[in-house]
Amino acid sequence: MTDPATLAPKPTAQVEPYVEVLGVDGAIEFLLTFGGAEISFSTAPTAQSRVARLVGRKKAIALARISGRLPRRVPTARKWLVAALHFKGLPKAEIARKLHVTDVAVRKWLLQMGTGPNPRPDNSDDPAQLSLF
pLDDT at residue 10, as a whole number: 84
d(CA 128, CA 108): 32
pLDDT at residue 64, as a whole number: 95
pLDDT at residue 125, as a whole number: 60
Q: Is the dihedral of CA 74, 78, 81, 83 positive or negative?
A: negative
d(CA 110, CA 107): 5
pTM of the model: 0.78
pLDDT at residue 7, as a whole number: 54
Do residues 99 and 81 touch, judged by C-beta distance below 8 A? yes
Q: What is the pLDDT along the chain (133 residues), one digit of tens a residue?
A: 444 444 568 888 899 999 999 999 999 999 999 999 999 999 999 989 999 999 999 999 999 999 999 988 999 999 999 999 999 999 999 999 999 999 999 999 999 888 655 444 454 566 676 766 6
Start-to-end CA span in the chain (Å): 44
d(CA 35, CA 75): 5
d(CA 33, CA 52): 13
pLDDT at residue 120, as a whole number: 43
